[in-house]
Chains A and B, each alone.
Chain A
Amino acid sequence: MIFRIIEKTELKELVDVMAVNRIIGPVQKGTGLDGKPLYAFGPVADFNDLKLDYTTTARPAKRYFLPSHETLCNFKIHENGWEKSVDFNIHEPHVFFGLHACDINALHKLDKVLLKSSFPTPYYAAKRMNMFIIGIECKPQPFCFCRSMGTDSALHGFDMFLTDLGDKYFVEVQSAAAFNFLKNINTSDPKEKDHARYMEVVAEKNRKFTATVDTTDLAKILDMEFQSDVWKYWGDKCLSCGTCASVCPTCYCYGVEESVDIDLKGAVKKKHLYSCNLIDFAEVAGGHNFRPESHTRLKYRYYHKHRGFAEEFEESLCVGCGRCSEACLAKIKVPEVIASIRSGVKPRGR
């Protein structure tokens, strides 16, 4: 791996060099009720809009590679039949400037099911293969439990990864494209003291994690506790709104709907991301619902994330970013749910 040092003053240069491409990065969208800034991934038009010291975003960058609504194909309908035309809905590469390790790891997990399995999805693949990723070291928030999920650092899957050392960035370079970009700006070789400072910064970050999830034997425990009443407790709280799935960087479930154009000469097939918590997720034609109760759907969500995916790919489909817990209107938090399932005891005083 190649390491470089960039002075902070040079970063604007880097962004300017890259600006011939579409840059997506963390930008401030507003201010929350608590007075703290709200961030989201969006197009970066100006260097000053890029907020690399962002806490987290309410939503992941998912809409750029797994949009909530997407056209799968269009049909031209004529008297004797129809013609189908397919578009993967991407026409240029995107630079993702400032993804945290959790979001990079989320992409790895999605790759496993959408790219590296049987029937790879071209809609995802086309966007994924046109991502240039610049990671940035994060500041752990109270709701982050990525360290428990083993996703607190990204070992690969980015072109460049920046760590803030104070007045400069420590840069890991993992692609030739990134290396070429860096040729345009002033960089230097890291010195021994930069290495030491880097390790200090990482150690400091690791000390800041507060939320934890005990994942020991989790897949097995979920199986053992399948009939546990604790699920009903959480199911009763759950509003079945699907917000958790929409803010999840790894949720990929979807539904497909087709519609006919008003002139009857065309039709369109659309995909929309779905949530296993929504009531009709497993309902078949004729009305039989395989998961009619809220708790069975909530349980399924944990099952898929921490058991099913683990069985298939030997890792959980959760990166511990904590977005679902923050967004949940019923205040259902993943660490609390898993702790209660492990112990078999419903949380008290809530």
Chain B
Amino acid sequence: MDNKLEFVDVLRDVPGTQRKSDMGSFEYSHKAEITNVYPLTANEKLYQIQIIDPEMRKRFTFRPGQFVMLEVPGVGEAPFSISSSPVRHGDIELCIRNVGNMTNFLSRVGRGVQVGITGPFGTSFPVEEMMGQNIFLIAGGLGIAPLRSPILSVLENRSRYANVDIIYGARQPSELLFTYQYEMWRKFDIGLDIIVERPDKEWKGPVGLTTHILKEKIANPAISLSKDTYAIVCGPPVMFKFVCNMLMEAGIPMQKMFVSLERRMHCGRGKCCRCNVGSTYTCLKGPVFDYWSVMNLKEAI
């Protein structure tokens, strides 16, 4: 009798699809090309990245707020929020700050470089649910990157939303991102307030923190932050608590306030544990959380 155990091949019966339950898709990444690099500031660039296979590019769909894992073979793999509109499918834009090993490498590459894209991963901002309601977006620094996708999504369906207001703060004017789009956003009936902490000589706008503008808005009787308002907040860790508390006091329900959290991630698939907040996977249950969930997470903000 043959006592040799039979080898089980985990991929034996797996069709070549891209469902997340398929083991074959775990280490699969879409080949993509950096089609354009647009310098936004001294440290941040906007990368246009296109999935090479036209069929895959069309099939690639995501919701605003989701992220992809971007892989540069031999250099690393890291999570980035998608900054482009969902209508563009697999022709995405990522706003990347030169801050670590991999982003440092990316800051030196140009058009034509082939990278890998996996995803999309994580939760998203409920832009459909928000229809018919006011939207209040508050971003600090690089926090505008994950907010640009919902902003563009709202712009494309502008008539379906009531008032849309953005408060965006940065340390100094030279660090403001997407400056070339402000005029367009305003023309599409979006209220945009920009504030910097350290003005330069040319700066004519307000000076201070985002909370400064927020305080004015809340105090202004013409603006009502009622139950009919959704809020999206993203910024450096220190910003969340202050802004969210102010919004809550102003009457926005916790379930209508959304934040996008940043954490270290090595897999994006709920396996490496690096992104855990308390004991919740940011990559699976986040990065977009409503404020009620955040209050129930230890050490989230």
Contacts and interface: CB of A to CB of B under 8 A. Distances in A.
Given A252-B271, A282-B274, A122 B7 contact: no
B284 interface: yes
A82 B114 contact: yes
Contacts of A285: 78, 99-103, 264
A3 to B, nearest CB: 22
Interface string B163-185: 00000000000000000000000
A65 to B, nearest CB: 13
Contacts of B7: 91-93, 130
Contacts of B272: 253-256, 274
A75 B73 contact: yes
B117 to A, nearest CB: 13
Contacts of B31: 81
A125 B23 CA distance: 8
Contact of B8 (A93, A123, A308): A93
Given A80-B114, A183-B1, A252-B273, A122 B264 contact: no
Interface stretch (B81-89, B132-140, B275-283): B275-283
A281 interface: yes
A243 interface: no
A64 interface: no
Contacts of B97: 286
Interface residues of B, number: 53
A244 to B, nearest CB: 14
B166 to A, nearest CB: 24
Interface residues of A, number: 71
Contacts of B267: 254, 256
B103 to A, nearest CB: 6
A307 B262 CA distance: 22
A308 B3 contact: no
Contacts of A233: none
A297 to B, nearest CB: 11
A303 B27 contact: no
Interface stretch (A52-60, A188-196, A257-265, A323-331): A257-265
A75 B262 CA distance: 29
A303 to B, nearest CB: 5
A126 B10 contact: yes
B273 A286 contact: no
A300 B10 contact: no
Contacts of B76: 256-258
Contact of B3 (A181, A252, A291, A300): A181
B266 A254 contact: yes
Given A308-B276, A308-B279, A184 B266 contact: no
A209 interface: no
Interface in A67-114: 72-73, 75, 77, 80-82, 84, 86, 88, 91-93, 95, 113-114
Interface stretch (A17-25, A149-157, A333-341): A17-25
A276 B264 CA distance: 12
B270 A304 contact: no
Contacts of A123: 26
Given A130-B8, A282-B263, A286-B100, A114 B20 contact: no
Contact of A122 (B24, B72, B73, B279): B24
B77 A119 contact: no
B270 A281 contact: no
B135 to A, nearest CB: 28
A1 interface: no
Contacts of B77: 256, 258, 269
Contacts of B21: 118-120
A254 B264 CA distance: 12
A255 B101 CA distance: 15
Contact of A17 (B3, B8, B24): B3
Contacts of A288: 237
Contacts of B276: 276, 282, 300, 304, 308
B75 A309 contact: no
B151 to A, nearest CB: 24
A73 B266 contact: no
A31 interface: no
Given A119-B26, A130-B7, A309 B279 contact: yes
Interface in B186-224: none
Contacts of A120: 21, 23, 26
Contacts of B4: 20-21
Interface in B222-278: 237, 262-264, 266-267, 269-274, 276-278
Interface string B101-118: 111000000000010100
A125 B27 CA distance: 13
Nearest to B112: A80
17 contacts: A21-B4, A80-B114, A122-B10, A129-B10, A184-B1, A253-B273, A256-B272, A258-B72, A276-B273, A282-B263, A284-B262, A290-B277, A300-B278, A303-B279, A304-B279, A309-B279, A311-B279
Closest 4 CB pairs between A and B?
A308-B279, A267-B74, A285-B100, A119-B269
Interface of B: 1, 3-11, 20-21, 23-24, 26-27, 29, 31, 72-78, 97, 99-103, 114, 116, 237, 262-264, 266-267, 269-274, 276-280, 284, 298-299
